[in-house]
A and B are shown apart, each in its own frame.
Chain A
Amino acid sequence: MHVIQLYFRLIQISLLSRMQYRANFIAGILGLIVWNVINLGLIGIMVTQFTSLKDWTLWELVFLYCLWILGHSLYSLFFSHTRQLENYLIEGTFDQFLLRPASPLIQLLGRELEYIEIADMFIGLTGISLAYAQLGLHWDVWKWSFFIIAIISGTIIVLAINLLIACSAFWTGRSRGTFIIVSPFYSLVHQYPVDIFGNAFRIIVSSLLPVAFMNYYPALVLLDKVDHASSGWWLSYMSPVVALILLGIVSGVWRLALRQYTSSGS
């Protein structure tokens, strides 16, 4: 309980310090909304001219895009600064975490709140609602629960993967390079259903870098697109399992990293 209290106290402090710049807040939110509307607009133009993308219609693609955003927005709202870990390590900020009488992980996670990402959540919810209406979906209780679980799993998956990459800085000193390399995978999976790509890509984003579990696989379930005749149909339900496995891996790696950590000195 103490840990959670501490986390929210840290978040509160960071929020107060950020709220001093209100104009930036509003401009940032508008910027994010415009950016996403333009992205969706481009997909929209493409799909309407060609009627669909394989068997994905326009609103199904909007659903896919927004399901990613919902999972990702929770991550970027609370945890996006985990990418900064390498800087904390290099600048010695991390040593401060170790000196204070609280878990270093909580201090890292509670360091910032990207409140601008509220805009992402708004876009995600709007997009999903529109798609739900346009596609004439009628979910039962089971599907609604799966929807909620899928979003939380998505958040955990992207947090765990990014934290793992950030942790690599404990050994190599730098993690930014890896983030640059994985970002095109993120943007492709975010915008397009992975079944249009080749097998190599599908295998990578379903195993080594399992971001397809953030939107593609749960969307198959939620949009009734699971093909039960195919051999990999069960993958569609695996998001929560993948999230749990990643959570296990990342906590192990984090502990290992702390044990062998030596300060950058000076």
Chain B
Amino acid sequence: MKLFWAFARQHFHATALYRVDFWLRVASTPILMYGTRWVWITLYTQRPGAFGVSLQQMVTYAVLSMAIENLFYTGPQYYMAQQARSGAIDADLLKPLDFHFHMLARSTGEMLFRIIVIALPAMLVGYFLFDLQLPATLQTGFLFVVAILLGYLVNFHLEFLLGSVALVTLEIHSIDWAFHATARFFSGQFVPLWLFPGVLGLLANILPFRSTFSTPLSIYTGVVTGGAVTEAIGFQMLWLILLFIISRWLWERVQARIVLQGG
């Protein structure tokens, strides 16, 4: 565990050094918050209290979703693909930390950096400028954080699986495209899942993607309360366990097949 945090810390610092773009993205987030807030205000004038969700809850959902936008996609698959292509992955395999946990440490360092540098300032901006409400109770706030962390872990494993596939195919961009497009649609990041009709709604509720945005945001805004919260968090855990097992299984197989390129 100590080793894990050493790797996480190392990547945290590496990220902090090189990411000027990220600071700029902080500046562009308020514009998106402003935009989505108006979209929902406009929609709600036509149908106030749609689906039993108040405008205030909906605006909080949308603005908060912009604030946490960058938390989840830490991109271990790019690192894995790049290391495989350059042949440098042999050095990663020699490290004193299991590769899967090494990737998790890297991503965690990255995510913590993004929380501190992007999400927290963006939430403050949302609070002061765009009607981002505080969670109803301290307990709700705590459950939100738990759901965010689980969402992050679920998403990390999806990305790790992509990366494992990329180690064999040596091609990441097109599968990554498909992944991001699907996640964008089914995560509830832009349009909350309770608006999804029929089969789409059913699909969104079964797939793991809702763990990232929909679950934490629904808990935070109080759209999901009481026993449903436990259920939603249980759903995240179930997917996490499943994806963890698949990741270990696939990694064992991929590791044996890694072809070192270059020289």
Contacts and interface: CB of A to CB of B under 8 A. Distances in A.
Contact of B24 (A41, A50, A180, A187): A180
A188 B185 contact: no
Nearest to A197: B38
Contacts of A34: 177-178, 181
A49 interface: yes
Contact of B181 (A28, A35, A177): A35
A181 B50 contact: no
B109 to A, nearest CB: 23
Interface residues of B, number: 34
A20 interface: no
A45 B191 contact: yes
Given A38-B185, A197-B35, A53 B28 contact: no
Interface in A174-191: 176-177, 180-181, 183-185, 187-188
A192 B46 contact: no
Interface bracket on A: 20 to 34
Given A27-B177, A38-B184, A42-B190, A201 B34 contact: yes
B208 to A, nearest CB: 17
Contacts of A31: 173-174, 177-178, 181
Contacts of B195: 45-46, 49
B27 A181 contact: yes
Nearest to B27: A181
A188 B191 contact: no
Contacts of B178: 31, 34
A35 B177 CA distance: 8
Contacts of B190: 42
A41 B185 CA distance: 8
A192 B37 CA distance: 12
Contacts of B242: none
B21 A180 contact: yes
B39 interface: yes
A50 B49 CA distance: 11
B248 interface: no
A198 B39 CA distance: 11
Nearest to A41: B185
A30 B178 CA distance: 9
A92 B42 CA distance: 49
Contacts of B39: 46, 53, 192, 196
A103 interface: no
Contact of B43 (A53, A180, A184): A53
Interface in B164-196: 171, 173-174, 177-178, 181, 184-185, 190-191, 195-196
| Of listed B28, B32, B173, residue having the most chain A CB within 10 A | B28
B35 A180 contact: no
A111 B247 CA distance: 43
B59 to A, nearest CB: 14
Given A35-B177, A41-B185, A180-B28, A53 B42 contact: yes
B124 interface: no
B181 A50 contact: no
A23 B171 CA distance: 10
A185 B27 CA distance: 12
A264 interface: no
Nearest to A35: B181
A167 B263 CA distance: 41
Given A53-B39, A181-B24, A181-B28, A30 B174 contact: yes
A52 interface: yes
Q: Which 5 A-B pairs have the closest CB atoms?
A: A27-B174, A31-B177, A184-B31, A188-B35, A196-B42
18 contacts: A27-B173, A27-B174, A34-B177, A35-B177, A35-B181, A42-B184, A42-B185, A45-B195, A45-B197, A45-B200, A49-B197, A50-B46, A50-B50, A51-B47, A180-B24, A180-B25, A188-B32, A192-B39
Given A180-B28, A192-B35, 5 more contacts: A31-B174, A34-B178, A50-B44, A53-B43, A196-B42
